[in-house]
Structure 1
Amino acid sequence: MHGAGTAGVWRISALNEAGGWKDRTTVEDMDLAVRAGLKGWKFVYLSQIKVKNELPSTFKAYRYQQHRWSCGPANLFKKMAMEIIRNKKVSLWKKFYLIYSFFFVRKIVAHVVTFVFYCVVLPATVFVPEVQVPKWGAVYIPSIITLLNAVGTPRSLHLLVFWILFENVMSMHRTKATFIGLLEAGRVNEWVVTEKLGDALKMQSSGKALKKPRIRIAGRLHFWELLVGAYLFFCGCYDLTFGKNHYFIYLFLQSIAFFIVGIGYVGIFVPNS
C-alpha cells in the first residue's frame, strides 16, 4: 500500500517491478506510484491510521514546497503521458483517469483556472459590463467543491474563508510552477529541502544557538503578490463606483490577502526561548 510521501508502506516486489526510484522529476514518490499502477499494482488507503507530519516553518519554505509539488507533477505528466497511453496492462478507463483526472484536471487545470479566472479574468469583467459571468460557474459550483473538501476537516471550518483567500494567492505560484514543469524551464529540477519547525527545535534542545533572522524590508516584500493585490484593489474600487455585481466585496478581501502575503506578514519565526 502507498500513502503520502511521509507515510507510505511499499512491497519490495512492487518497487522492483516498477523500476525503482528515479530522479527524473522532483516528485519521485508520485513517479514510482504511477509506474507501479501501470504494472497492475493496487494501492490501499487506510484513513484510520494517523501519522504525525510537519508543516513548513516559514512562508518562504512553504513556497519552495508548493513550487516542487506543482512543478513536479506537471513535468511528470509531460514525461509519462505517452507511456500511459501505450501501456497494455491497464484498462482504457484507468488510462483516462490517470491522464484526465489525476494529472490534467487536478495537477494542471486546477491551479491555472483558480488563478487566471478568479484573480485575472473575473476581476477584469468589472470594466466590461456587457460580459456576464454566470453565478453557477463563478460562485455555486466552486462553493460546493470547496465545502466538500472542507468536510474532512470540520474543526477548521471557521477558517474556510481565510483558506480560500490564501489558496487563491498560492495559485499564482502554482500556476507559474505548472508551466515551468510543462515547458521544462529554469527551475524545473529545483529541489530545496523544506525547513520544518521541528528541525529548529531539535537544534535548540541540542544546545545549538539559533540565529535570530534579520528582517529586511527588501527580503520581506514580494513583488508579484503586491502587483496582483494592487490590480485587485483597483478593480474593487472601480466595481464599487460603477459596477452592479457587488464583486468589490470579494475583490477587496482577495486584494488584502495578496497584500498581507506581499509584505511578508505570513510565516513563523522560531524564537530563541
Structure 2
Amino acid sequence: MVMSVMLVVEAAYNSAISIAVRLVGWRPERRFKWEPLGGDEEKGEDAAAYPMVMVQIPMYNELEVYKLSIGAACELKWPKERLIIQVLDDSTDTFVKNLVELECEDWASKGLNIKYATRNSRKGFKAGALKKGMEWDYAKQCEYVAIFDADFQPEPDFLLRTVPFLMHNQNVALVQARWGFVNDRVSLLTRIQKTFLDYHFKAEQEAGSATFAFFSFNGTAGVWCREAINDAGGWKDRTTVEDMDLAVRATLKGWKFIYLGDVTVKSELPSTYKAYCRQQFRWSCGGANLFRKMIWDVLAAKKVSSLKKIYMLYSFFLVRRVVAPAVAFILYNVIIPVSVMIPELFLPVWGVAYIPTALLIVTAIRNPQNLHTVPLWILFESVMSMHRLRAAVAGLLQLQEFNQWTVTQKVGNNAIEENNETPLLQKSRKRLINRVNLPEIGLSVFLISCASYNLVFHGKNSFYINLYLQGLAFFLLGLDCVGTLPGHCCI
C-alpha cells in the first residue's frame, strides 16, 4: 500500500507538471537560446554557418526497414559537405548485408557523404556499434551526432529544429524528439502501446525536461553533442539500456537535456505480443540493473544538486523501475486475489479503489483520444507487469538473463500498407501449441479460481468481476491471441 501511494504521487506529479507546461505555453525556447540557421542549406549558401553533423543508423538484419531509415537520413535538409551519414551494420545475414551496402553506394552516387561501417563481431550490441562508429577519423570531425534506429524516419527539417539548441547552449548535451508511429492504429496491441508511450513522452519526459532538464535518452530520435558523449565516458555495454546509461552519466557531469514534444519522428511499434514482451523485458531489466550500478555514483556526484539527486534516485530509478512493476503485479495480481480467500486480510478501500482510479485518471488525462481503449490498456498492463517485475528482479540481482539483447522485429511500412494480417487465432494446432505462453496461462488459472471462489463465498470483499477480467486477459495473451488486424476491425 505504501508503494502504491509512492506510485500515484509520482504519476500525479508528472501529469501536473506536464499539464501546467501546456497551460502556460512553456516552450524550450523560453529557457534555452534558439536561433534559426542562416543561408540556404540546399544551395550551399553560408555552409560554414552549419556545424558538422553525423547521423548514425545502427542496424542488425533490418531487411524490412533499412531503406526507410537510410532514405530519410539522406533527405535531411543540411549542407551536404557538412553532413555525414554513418550506417553501422551489424547484420549477420549476408544477403541483408549486401543490400544495405548497395543502398549506401546508391546514395553515395547521388553525392551524399554516406559511410558504410561494419564490425568483425557484435560485441556490446548497439552500444558497441555506436562506440566503434565514434572512433572513425571522420566522426571526430563532427560536433554533433544524431542517432536513429533502423525503423525511424526523421522529417527533412529535423536537424534545423534541433541542432540550434546545441549550438547556442554550451551546457546542453542532448535534444530529444518525440516518437510518432506509422502503425499505432493497425491493431489493438499497437494502440495500447501508444497509450503507454504517450504517457512516457507527454508526462514523464516533459516533466523531467521542464523541471530538472533531465530525462532518459530514448536511444533514438535525438541529437547529442559529441563533447558531452566523450565527457561522460562514451558508450558502455554494461547494461541493455546503453542510452539511459549515457544519459545518467552525462547528467552527473553537469550537462542538461532538452525535450521537444512538437518535433516528431516516425517509427514502428512492435506488432506481435512476444516482440513487445522482449522489448519491455530489455528496457525494464536494463533500467533496474543500471539503478544498481549507478546509485553510489549519483550520491557522490559533485556537479548535481541534492534535489536533483533525490529526483534521479527516487523518482527516475526507484519508483519507475522498481516500485511500478512491483505494485502492478504483487498488489493487483497476487495480494488482492488471495485476499478473497483470507477473511482476516484487510485491504483498505483507498488502496484497492481510490488509488487505481487516481492512476487511471492521471494517465488518461494526457491521452484523451485513447479514452475508449483505457479499460483494455489496464488489463493489458496487468499482464505486462508480470514480465516487467521479472525483468526488474533479474536486473537488480544480475541473474543470468539480465544482459540478454534481442532486436525487436520490424515489418516495415510496405507490410503495414499492404495490410499484413496476423489472425487472432491460428487454425493449425501445431502453430497454436508453439504460441502458448505458460506463465500467462498459469496466472489466468489462478485468477479465475480466486474469482470463482469470491463469487461463491462473497465474504467482505467482492472482487470477482475484476478478477475474471484479469484472468481472461492473461488467458488470451497466454494463447497469444493478439496481432495485426485491419484498421476497420480495431477497437
- Match of 1:52, SS state, is strand
Of stretches 183-192 and 251-260 in structure 1, the one that deviates more from structure 2 is: 183-192
Deviation at 1:2, TM superposition (A): 3.7
**Paired residue for 1:91, among 305, 320, 326?**
305
Are 1:191 and 2:408 counterparts? no
* Contact 2:383–2:440 (8 Å) recurs in 1: yes
Q: Which residue of 2 aligns with 1:253?
A: 469
Q: Which residue of 1 aligns with 2:283?
A: 69
* Contact 2:340–2:462 (8 Å) recurs in 1: no
Count of residues in correspondence between the two structures: 262
Structure 1 runs (4+) greater than 2 angstroms displaced:
1-6, 199-202, 267-270
Report the AA paired with residue 259 of structure 2: Y
Quick one: structure 1 residues 179 and 218, their matched pair in 2 at CA, closer, same or farther if it must change by over 3 Å?
A: same
CA deviations on 1:114-168 (whole Å, 9 max, x unpaired) are 1011000111000112222112111212221222122222111100010000001
Q: Which residue of 2 aligns with 1:262?
A: 478
* Contact 2:175–2:257 (8 Å) recurs in 1: yes
* Contact 1:67–1:174 (8 Å) recurs in 2: yes
Correspondence 1:213-224 to 2 at 5 A: 216-224=431-439
Q: Which residue of 2 aligns with 1:22?
A: 236
Deviation at 1:112, TM superposition (A): 1.2
Q: Which residue of 1 aligns with 2:192?
A: none
TM-score between the two structures when normalised by the length of structure 1? 0.90
Report the AA paired with residue 226 of structure 1: I
Tell me which protein shows more helix as a share of its residues: 1
Q: Which residue of 2 aligns with 1:210?
A: none
**Paired residue for 1:230, among 440, 445, 468?**
445
Q: Which has the larger radius of gyration?
A: 2
Are 1:118 and 2:312 counterparts? no
Tell me which protein shows more strand as a share of its residues: 2
* Contact 1:58–1:269 (8 Å) recurs in 2: no
Q: Which residue of 2 aligns with 1:139?
A: 353
Quick one: structure 1 residues 137 and 233, their matched pair in 2 at CA, closer, same or farther if it must change by over 3 Å?
A: same
Deviation at 1:171, TM superposition (A): 0.4
Deviation at 1:6, TM superposition (A): 2.4
Unaligned runs of 5+ in 2: 1-173, 177-217, 419-425, 487-491
* Contact 2:285–2:393 (8 Å) recurs in 1: yes
- Match of 2:363, SS state, is helix
Deviation at 1:197, TM superposition (A): 2.4
Report the AA paired with residue 157 of structure 1: L
Q: Which residue of 2 aligns with 1:47?
A: 261
Report the AA paired with residue 260 of structure 1: L
Of stretches 226-235 and 149-158 in structure 1, the one that deviates more from structure 2 is: 149-158
* Contact 1:232–1:255 (8 Å) recurs in 2: yes
Report the AA paired with residue 410 of structure 2: K
CA distance in 2, matches of 1:81, 1:105: 14
Are 1:173 and 2:387 counterparts? yes
* Contact 1:22–1:28 (8 Å) recurs in 2: yes
- Match of 2:446, SS state, is helix
**Paired residue for 1:57, among 271, 292, 306?**
271
Correspondence 1:140-159 to 2 at 5 A: 140-159=354-373
Report the AA paired with residue 88 of structure 1: K
- Match of 2:267, SS state, is coil
CA distance in 1, matches of 2:383, 2:290: 24
Deviation at 1:36, TM superposition (A): 0.8
- Match of 1:48, SS state, is strand
* Contact 1:6–1:53 (8 Å) recurs in 2: no
TM-score between the two structures when normalised by the length of structure 2? 0.51
| Superposition RMSD in Å | 2.0
The percentage of aligned residue pairs carrying the same residue is 51
CA distance in 2, matches of 1:199, 1:182: 37
Report the AA paired with residue 263 of structure 1: L
Deviation at 1:216, TM superposition (A): 1.7
CA distance in 2, matches of 1:269, 1:63: 19
CA distance in 2, matches of 1:152, 1:96: 25
